[in-house]
Structure 1
Amino acid sequence: MKIGMISLGCAKNLVDSEWILGMLKKDGHEIVGQIQEADALFINTCGFINDAKKESIQTILEAIQQKKESTYLIVIGCLAKRYKEELQKEIPEIDLIIGVDEYEQIGHLLNQLLHSKLSTTWDINDRVLTSYLPYAYLKIGEGCSNCCAYCAIPLIRGPYYSYPKENILKEAHHLINMGIKELVIIAQDTTRYGKDLYTNYFLEDLLEEIAQINPNVYIRLLYLYPDRITDRLIQIFKKYDNIFPYFDIPIQHSSDVLLKAMNRTGNRKIYLDVIQKIKKEIPQAILRTTIIVGFPNETEQDFLDIQEFLKEVEFDHVGIFTYSNEENTKAYELKNKIPKRIANQRKKELLLLQQKISLKKNQNRINQTHLVLIEDYDGNNYYGRSYVYAPDDVDGKVIIKSKKKLFIGDEVLVKITKAYAYDIEGEAQV
C-alpha cells in the first residue's frame, strides 16, 4: 500500500511522523510524496493553540477534497488525542483517529482498518527522514511535567518521560551514518532528561556521549528550561567544539507576578543570573527565547517589565506569541482576560523592539566568517545556516553569494557583508 504523510506543528511531531513512516516502510508499504498517490493518507496534527488547531482542521478538509475517493484518511497527533470524539462527529470522512498515546499500536490499528494480517512493530530506529536537508531532529523524551497554567501539552502527551539512552545513541549513530551533519536535540523539556529514569545519568552525560560520536557532526540543543541549566551543562557547551553555543531558553515572561500565575518555575532574577553566567562563560553564545503577551491580568507594568528585560538581555532571537485560551488548562478559568486587540498591539511593539536588537547584533557580525551549512538555492543566491540560526526558519538564515557552484549539504566558510533584522548576507570563501 502507498502511504502519504502530512506533518503539522512542531519538530517533535515531525520526528513522530518519521518514526511512523519507518515502521510502515519496514512492513512493506511504499512511502509517497503526493496526496493523490496515497492509498492511505496520514495527517499528523497539532492541537497546542487555537491557530494550530485551525490549521489542522483546514488541512484535513483540504485533504478530503484532494485525495482519491478510495484513499483512507487517518488523523493522528495532538488534535486527534485532544478532540477525538469531536473529530469523529464533525468530520465523518476520517477513517481512523489515533492519539499520541496510541503510536505503538498504530500498525495494529492500521491493519484492522485494512483487514491485513501484517505484524507491525514499533522501532524508532526504522525512522524515514522526510527531508533532503542535512540536519535531523533527535528526540530524547516525550510529554511534559511542568504543568504551566496556559499549556495543554501535559493533557495531550502526558507527563514527561525520558527515552532510554541506548535508544537515543543508537538513533544518533543511525542518523550520522545516513549523512546528517547537524543533530538537533529536542524534547518538551530537554533539561529534565534522565531525572525520571536514572540516578546518575542526565542531559549533560547524554550530550557528552552524542558529541563524542563524530566530532565533525554538529549538535544543537533546544528547549532548555532556564532554572535547570547547570554549571556543568554550560561547561560541556564550552568543552566540545561540535556543540553549537546556541541556548534556546523559553522564559515566557519576566514579571514575577505573571510567572507565578503561569505556574512557571524560576523568576526574573534566576533567569537573569543564568543568562549572565552563559554570556560570561561563552561570549559568543546565541540566546533565543519565547515570550507570551496578553496572559490574563497582564498589566501595563508587566508589559513594561518584559520590554526592559529584552533591552537588558539582548536576545539574538525571540519568538513572540499572544496568549491562547485553552480549555482544561489552569489559565482557562482565570478572569481579566486581555482583549485580543491589546495582546496583538503588545506583540507588535515587542516585535519592533526585538527587530532593532536583532539588527544591531547582526550588524556586529559583519566581517566575521561563519561556517554555513547550505540548504537551498533559488537561481541567484544560496541559503543556509551557521551556528547562529536554528532550522525551519524560526530565527533567520544566511544569504550567500558564491562564484563557485555549491550543493545542498556543503559546509562553506562565508564572510558576512550585510545585516538585516533577521538574516545576514555574505560571500562564500571558495
Structure 2
Amino acid sequence: MPTRKPKIFVVHLGCSKNQVDAERLVGEMLNVGFETTETASKADYILVNTCGFIEAAKEESINAILAQVKGKKAKQKLIVTGCLSKRYGEELEKEIPEVDFWAGTYQPGELLAKMGIDQPAGCNPAKLPRLNLGGLPHHAYLKIAEGCNRRCAYCAIPNIRGLQKSTSIADLVKEAKELEAQGIKEITLIAQDTTFFGREKKKEGETLTDLLKALLAETNIPWIRMLYWYPAFIDDELLDLMAKEPRLVKYIDMPIQHSSDPVLKNMLRKYTRQELRDILRKIRTKLPDVTLRTTVLVGFPGETHEDFEDLMDLLQEIKFEHLGGFVFSPEEGTPVMTMKKLAPVDESDARARLDAITDFQEELAAQRAEEMIGKTVTVILDEEAEESEYHFYGRTEGNSLDTDDIVKVLEGDGEVGTFRQALVVDAEPHELIVKLLD
C-alpha cells in the first residue's frame, strides 16, 4: 500500500514578498512528500505565515494564530512563520505554547530541520520550485531581493529582514523561465526597494535595468510589472527602457510617503522635495501613458499643517492614478522612537488629513472613470465571475493584482489568463464595465 502523504493547510498574511516566502517554504514541503489541502480540518499540519509590519498587521496575525489554536485537533501540528514570528518569536513561544514549530522569515531548509525532516540527498532547497499561492494560474511574483538598505525612520523592515541581498540575475532568469513554462503570463517584480536591485554589489551589469533586459531577452512573458520603486534610484536608462519595451507595463508603484522637506528629513528618506517633484515630472514626460501608484504617510511626528498642505499640493499636481494612505504608527526599534524632540501629531488631526487625501483621490477616481467610457482597453482575464451578471473579472495594464481597480466583463466569451481588447461601456470609481471585442 502506498504511504499516505501528510497534508498541509496554509494561512498566508502580509505582503507579496511574504507570500513568495510562503510559496518557497511550501515548495520545500512538497518536495519531501507533503501535499496541500484547502481545508484546515483535513490537514496534518497547519502553517500560519505572519506579518509583523505595523500594529494592525500584528493583531491580524495573532488573531489568525489563535483561531488555528482554537480549532486545532489532537494530532494536528501548528507551524508559525514570517515577520511576526521573526520579530517576537521568544515572547510568542511563551504566550502561545500550543504552536508546535516556530520559524522566522524564510531561510532555505530551516523549518524542515526544526521539524526533524531530512532533505533528499543532494537537494538544494534554495533552488526548488515554489507553489503559487496567489490564486491565479497566470500570475506570479518574482522576488528579486531580500532586506533593505534604506533606514527610514518609521520602518521596522531592516530590523526584521536585514540589509539588502539581491538574487543573481542568472537565478532570476531561471526562475522566470520556470514560471513561464507553468503558464505564467504576468510576473510582478518585488523587493523592499526594487530600484536598488543589485546596487549593493557595486558591480557593472547588476542593476534593475540589466535584470529587465535579461528577462526580456530570455523569456516571452507578455507583461512584466514592477512594484516598490524608491525615488532616489530611478534613472533615465530605466525609464527609456520602459518607454520602448511594450512588455514592460507602463505602471510605476513608487511610495513617496511625503513631500515636505522637513518631514522627508525627519523620515530619513534621503531625497528632497524638489528632487521628488523633478523625478515625478520626468516620469510623466518620458512615459505619458504611465499609471502612477503611491502611498503616503500622515501624522508623522513633527508634521505641521503647512507640511500637509505641501503634500496636498503635490498630489493635486501629479494626480496619481492610485493612492494608498496611512496614519503614522509608532514601532519599537525604529529610529523615530529616539527622536524625542519631534512633537507628536494629534490622532484626530492625522485622521482628518488622511480623510482629506482620500476624499480628493475618490473625486479624481470618479472623474477618470467617466473619461474612460467609450475607450478601448487591453484586458487580462483573471477569473470567471461566477454567480454574477458579469462573465469575467480582469485588469488593465494600469492595475496591479490585489491592490488596484478591476475590470468587469459584461459581454463576451474568452479564457482565463488571456489578453483581450475590450470597449468600456460604463465605469465607476475603481472599476470599468466592458464588452469584449472580437
**Is the structural similarity TM-score above 0.5?**
yes
- Residue 316 of structure 2 aligns to a residue whose secondary structure is helix
Q: Give the 3 Å change call, closer, same or farther, for CA 172–125 of structure 1 in structure 2.
A: farther
In structure 1, what is the equivalent of residue 272 of structure 2? 267
In structure 1, what is the equivalent of residue 155 of structure 2? 151
| Deviation of 1:390 (Å) | 0.4
What is the correspondence of 1:240-279 to structure 2 with a 5 Å cutoff?
A: 240-279=245-284
Q: Is the 8 A contact 1:19 1:124 kept in 2?
A: no
In structure 2, what is the equivalent of residue 325 of structure 1? 330
Larger deviation, residues 247-256 vs 418-427: 418-427
Q: Which of 370, 385, 391 matches 1:363? A: 370
Q: Does 1:336 align with 2:346?
A: no
What is the correspondence of 1:341-356 to structure 2 with a 5 Å cutoff?
A: 341-356=348-363
In structure 2, what is the equivalent of residue 372 of structure 1? 379
Amino acid at match of 1:191: T
Q: Does 1:425 align with 2:433?
A: yes
In structure 1, distance between residues paired with 2:380 and 2:322: 19
- Residue 99 of structure 1 aligns to a residue whose secondary structure is coil
Amino acid at match of 2:350: A
Larger deviation, residues 169-178 vs 365-374: 365-374
- Residue 52 of structure 2 aligns to a residue whose secondary structure is coil
Amino acid at match of 1:390: S
Q: Is the 8 A contact 2:184 2:221 kept in 1?
A: no
| Deviation of 1:97 (Å) | 1.1
| Cα deviation 1:293-319 (Å, max 9, x = unaligned) | 111111111111111110011000001
Q: Which of 378, 391, 409 matches 2:401? A: 391
Identity rate of aligned residues, in percent? Answer: 36
| Deviation of 1:386 (Å) | 0.8
Q: Is the 8 A contact 1:389 1:395 kept in 2?
A: yes
Q: Which of 199, 206, 212 matches 1:195? A: 199
Q: Does 1:408 align with 2:416?
A: yes
- Residue 277 of structure 2 aligns to a residue whose secondary structure is helix
| Deviation of 1:103 (Å) | 4.2
| Deviation of 1:407 (Å) | 3.1
Q: Does 1:293 align with 2:293?
A: no
In structure 1, what is the equivalent of residue 131 of structure 2? 128
Q: Give the 3 Å change call, closer, same or farther, for CA 358–125 of structure 1 in structure 2.
A: farther
In structure 1, distance between residues paired with 2:101 and 2:124: 19
- Residue 187 of structure 2 aligns to a residue whose secondary structure is strand
In structure 1, what is the equivalent of residue 231 of structure 2? 226
- Residue 399 of structure 1 aligns to a residue whose secondary structure is strand
Q: Is the 8 A contact 1:125 1:171 kept in 2?
A: no
Q: Is the 8 A contact 2:194 2:228 kept in 1?
A: yes
| Cα deviation 1:72-93 (Å, max 9, x = unaligned) | 1111010001001111111111
Q: Is the 8 A contact 1:289 1:319 kept in 2?
A: yes
In structure 2, distance between residues paired with 1:365 and 1:125: 44
| Deviation of 1:167 (Å) | 1.2
| Cα deviation 1:98-153 (Å, max 9, x = unaligned) | 11164442221122xxxx44547413442111234121100000001101000000
Q: Which of 166, 183, 189 matches 1:185? A: 189
Amino acid at match of 1:196: E
Q: Is the 8 A contact 1:184 1:220 kept in 2?
A: yes
Amino acid at match of 2:20: V
In structure 2, distance between residues paired with 1:387 and 1:309: 24
Q: Give the 3 Å change call, closer, same or farther, for CA 245–423 of structure 1 in structure 2.
A: same
Q: Does 1:174 align with 2:174?
A: no
| Deviation of 1:367 (Å) | 2.2
| Cα deviation 1:359-405 (Å, max 9, x = unaligned) | 2233332222111111231331121011110001x111112211x33
Q: Give the 3 Å change call, closer, same or farther, for CA 219–101 of structure 1 in structure 2.
A: closer
Amino acid at match of 1:100: T
In structure 2, distance between residues paired with 1:254 and 1:362: 27
In structure 2, distance between residues paired with 1:296 and 1:413: 48
Q: Is the 8 A contact 1:148 1:262 kept in 2?
A: yes
Amino acid at match of 1:356: E
Scaled by the length of structure 1, the TM-score of the pair is 0.95
Scaled by the length of structure 2, the TM-score of the pair is 0.93
| Deviation of 1:406 (Å) | 3.1
| Deviation of 1:419 (Å) | 2.7
Larger deviation, residues 330-339 vs 268-277: 330-339
Task: Flag structure 2 segments of 5+ consecutive residues without an equivalent.
Answer: 1-5
In structure 1, distance between residues paired with 2:365 and 2:81: 37
Amino acid at match of 1:353: F
In structure 2, distance between residues paired with 1:338 and 1:419: 38
- Residue 201 of structure 2 aligns to a residue whose secondary structure is coil
What is the correspondence of 1:26-41 to structure 2 with a 5 Å cutoff?
A: 26-41=31-46
What is the correspondence of 1:103-118 to structure 2 with a 5 Å cutoff?
A: 103-111=108-116, 116-118=117-119
Larger deviation, residues 76-85 vs 125-134: 125-134
In structure 2, what is the equivalent of residue 206 of structure 1? 211
Query: What is the aligned-residue RMSD (CA, Å)?
Result: 1.5
Q: Is the 8 A contact 1:176 1:217 kept in 2?
A: no
Q: Is the 8 A contact 1:3 1:39 kept in 2?
A: yes
In structure 2, what is the equivalent of residue 81 of structure 1? 86
Q: Does 1:54 align with 2:59?
A: yes
Q: Is the 8 A contact 1:143 1:188 kept in 2?
A: yes
| Cα deviation 1:47-78 (Å, max 9, x = unaligned) | 00000000000000111122322211111010
- Residue 426 of structure 1 aligns to a residue whose secondary structure is strand
Amino acid at match of 1:5: V
- Residue 383 of structure 1 aligns to a residue whose secondary structure is strand
In structure 2, distance between residues paired with 1:117 and 1:17: 19
In structure 2, distance between residues paired with 1:69 and 1:131: 30
In structure 1, what is the equivalent of residue 26 of structure 2? 21
Q: Is the 8 A contact 1:3 1:38 kept in 2?
A: yes
In structure 1, distance between residues paired with 2:115 and 2:124: 12
| Cα deviation 1:28-51 (Å, max 9, x = unaligned) | 111222211211111110000000
In structure 1, what is the equivalent of residue 3 of structure 2? none
In structure 1, distance between residues paired with 2:313 and 2:352: 17
Q: How many residues align?
A: 424
